[in-house]
Amino acid sequence: MICVAVLSERPLVRQGLAALLREIPGLEVVASEVVTTSTAQVLLVDSGLPNLETLLAQWHSASQQPLVIALEENPDEAERLLHKGARGYVSLASSLPELVECVLEVARGEVGLPAQLSRQLLSRLSGVGSSQILTEPLSGREQEILSLLCQGFSNKAIAQKLYLSVRTVEGHLANLYAKLGVNSRTQAALVGLNQHLIISDDLVSSASYS
């Protein structure tokens, strides 16, 4: 069961989204106008919420909770919120299946984006399309680090997880960015997910790579 909290000061948005999601098997939904770090795995947040960027930083720092942001079809807004710690984006004009898929993707630790927006952001952020072939394949360690990066791990947390120094992680990230043709964590996550470069968490291990 995935617990989803719908946060909005607007009753129609809050109650409407909660009512739709309660019809989906496997989802437990709580609707609230009170901003809180609940036990929810996914926070579906109205982008009109006051001080949203500050709240994103607090939530990300406090609990690493994944977030899904509901807002208008605006790539500029989506890019800004992703950089601030949001883990997903869905338009209020999206269909119910698109909304549910976004929630499920974020619950799995992935970045939840509509396909069209994902393509737009890939083009805007890095100039890398979904059909690009890497000139040099990622090493096993680079795949591990990319996978943890997509789950929201900081460099320090990645280092602790893989029993590496932070400097070693930074070196791997520099190589990773060069191979993907990107220059930020958000860009790397988008390209990695788009090109299916992510490995499952149970395969992330320090046993095989340096």
Task: Tell whether 111 and 79 lie within a shared domain.
Answer: yes
Where residue 145 sits, what CATH number does that domain have?
1.10.10.10
Task: Tell me the residue range of the domain where 37 lies.
Answer: 2-124
Rounded to the nearest 5 percent, the helix, strand and coil shares of the chain are: 50, 15, 40
Q: Are 189 and 111 in contact (CB under 8 A)?
A: yes
Return the closest-CA partner of residue 96 out of 194, 4, 23, 45: 23
75 located within any domain: yes
The last residue of a domain, from among 94, 124, 154: 124
54 located within any domain: yes
Where residue 11 sits, what CATH number does that domain have?
3.40.50.2300
- The per-residue pLDDT for 128 is 47
- The per-residue pLDDT for 173 is 92
Task: Tell whether 155 and 59 lie within a shared domain.
Answer: no
Task: Tell whether 108 and 164 lie within a shared domain.
Answer: no
Number of domains in the chain: 2
63 located within any domain: yes
Task: Tell whether 99 and 179 lie within a shared domain.
Answer: no
Instruction: List the chain pLDDT tens, one digit each, 210 residues.
Output: 898 989 888 899 889 999 999 999 999 998 877 666 567 788 888 887 887 777 777 776 665 565 676 665 676 777 777 777 777 888 878 889 888 988 888 887 777 777 666 666 656 655 544 445 676 889 999 999 998 887 767 788 889 999 999 899 999 999 998 898 887 777 788 788 777 787 765 545 544 555
- CA–CA dist 125, 130 (Å, integer): 13
132 located within any domain: no
Task: Tell whether 107 and 196 lie within a shared domain.
Answer: no
Task: Tell whether 120 and 158 lie within a shared domain.
Answer: no
pLDDT by residue (tens digit) across 13-64?
889 999 999 999 999 998 877 666 567 788 888 887 887 777 777 776 665 5
Return the closest-CA partner of residue 87 out of 113, 63, 61, 62: 113
- CA–CA dist 199, 32 (Å, integer): 35
Task: Tell whether 34 and 111 lie within a shared domain.
Answer: yes
- The per-residue pLDDT for 206 is 44
Task: Tell whether 96 and 8 lie within a shared domain.
Answer: yes
- CA–CA dist 60, 57 (Å, integer): 5
The last residue of a domain, from among 92, 124, 156: 124
Pairing relationship of beta strands 2-7 and 42-46 according to DSSP bridges:
parallel
99 located within any domain: yes
pTM score of the predicted model: 0.63
DSSP state of 181: T
134 located within any domain: no
The residue type of 77 is E
Joined tokens for residue 99: 């909304």
Return the closest-CA partner of residue 54 out of 33, 85, 14, 90: 85
The last residue of a domain, from among 91, 124, 157: 124
Task: Tell whether 66 and 21 lie within a shared domain.
Answer: yes
Task: Tell whether 94 and 165 lie within a shared domain.
Answer: no
Q: Nearest 5°: phi and psi at 195?
A: -100, 10
Task: Tell whether 15 and 116 lie within a shared domain.
Answer: yes
133 located within any domain: no
Paired residues of 71 in beta bridges: 91
Task: Tell whether 68 and 161 lie within a shared domain.
Answer: no
At 57 the three-state DSSP class reads helix
